[in-house]
Structure 1
């Protein structure tokens, strides 16, 4: 099995002057769930090369077993430093695609033409598309083969409005993901703030927050096996 993991290349947190990017746990945990299940993982990003890591996800209190494993894994670090450029991806070479979150995708991946083309192709082919936390933003502009919003009528989750409020960024992000998914016709639901919550609807898998990273990847593995 071959899974493409697509990370953000965006590193500016709105107009705050602070940095953002992908959330380390949301990359590391799915990466190892997939690798440990025997899946071949290829990394890509819009700009290629090293994607930006959200500095806050490197804080001590944000570390998990998966991030600590990553810090000691020279092979994984090298792969991350040399991601493929998204425009060079051949979608038909992969069995599924996984998008880690962090605030970065809210700005670049949600409207990146190559990402939208990839998602629309995978979904139309019946191949799993998985995204966690803020990464379900990549679905907002994607369309179904009939030209409707891809998420219309599908059960989805993602970083909730209450979680965005809790981190104090409701007025910084370009849109609130929960509301935006609903605006596109997605049947949004959520669990408790900061608790793992994952929804699978057909071959679309979405996770609510960082705590959902491992379960989202596990759901993808189960879907691939089935």
Structure 2
């Protein structure tokens, strides 16, 4: 039975360039859809956040305006998130992840990772260690921003030159935030050396896999990305205990 570490942000607000702030959190669809895939495969999932603080959903992720879903579908999402309350409200602290053994890492999006995970040293340590050990790392939408926290043994970014994707600048423009965000995932990843690939169009499913790194572009890619992650685990990756400290 595979054991997957799900890294979530604990951020609840994000500063904007106009001096205001925006409520943020994990994007519900990008947690619920992958968990359904993992549950269907009998996988065990452990949730971890910076300092073990509660992970909260982005309120826009429960609205038809924010998601493009129908009101009943939004209510179903809320119900599914509420059903995971114990895991989301009492996650593992990222600093204690070294005591565990995991087969893969999965990082959902929402704007929250652009507040804390992208620069969290414990996030960088966990993700870089998994990558070095040959275990797959998957991130979707704004989740790939968390990859920016990683450094290799020489201080270089270990994902430079990797093909990857994330929520695109075109999609940020569609939601009216392109000019309000301090930075975008697409620009930051490209600046660090990613070979950034966009899908056939905004909001369409798009998953990229390169040397154990799996990334998805948007909410529609979350479930398919989770399925691809299970395939990567089954292909022969072996869980390795991280050293303590």
1:166 paired residue number: 174
Which of 1 and 2 has greater Rg?
2
Unmatched segments (≥5 aa) in structure 1: none
How many residues matched? 226
Q: Any unmatched runs of 5+ in structure 2?
A: 236-245
- 2:38 aligns to what? 34
* Cα distance in 2, alignment partners of residues 80 and 209 from structure 1: 22
Compared CA separation, residues 113 and 189, structure 1 to 2 (3 A): same
Distance 1:123 1:23 in 2: 24
| TM-score normalised by the chain length of structure 1 | 0.92
Q: Give me the TM-score of the superposition, normalised by structure 2.
A: 0.85
Task: Describe the superposition over 1:125-170 as per-residue Cα deviations: whole angstroms up to 9, x where unpaired.
Answer: 0001110000100112312344321221110000101111111112
Deviations 1:164-222 (A, max 9, x none): 11111123322111111111111100111000100010110000011110011011000
Q: Is the 8 A contact 1:156 1:201 kept in 2?
A: yes
Change (3 A) 1:104 1:196: same
Pairwise CA RMSD: 2.0
Q: Aligned in 2, Cα 1:156/1:134: closer, same or farther, shift over 3 Å?
A: same
Counterpart pick for 2:47 among 36, 43, 46: 43
| 2:113 pairs with 1:105 | yes
**3-state SS in 1 of match to 2:13:** coil
Distance in 2 (alpha carbons) for counterparts of 1:71 and 1:96: 27
Larger mean Cα displacement after TM superposition, 15-24 or 63-72: 63-72
Q: In the alignment, does 2:227 pair up with 1:223?
A: no
- Within 5 Å, give how 1:1-226 maps onto structure 2: 1-15=2-16, 16-60=20-64, 62=67, 63=69, 68=76, 71=79, 76-90=84-98, 92-191=100-199, 192-226=201-235
The structure-2 alpha-carbon separation of the partners of 1:17 and 1:177, relative to structure 1 and needing over 3 Å to count, comes to closer
State whether residues 156 and 189 of structure 1, in contact with CA within 8 Å, keep that contact through their aligned partners in structure 2.
yes
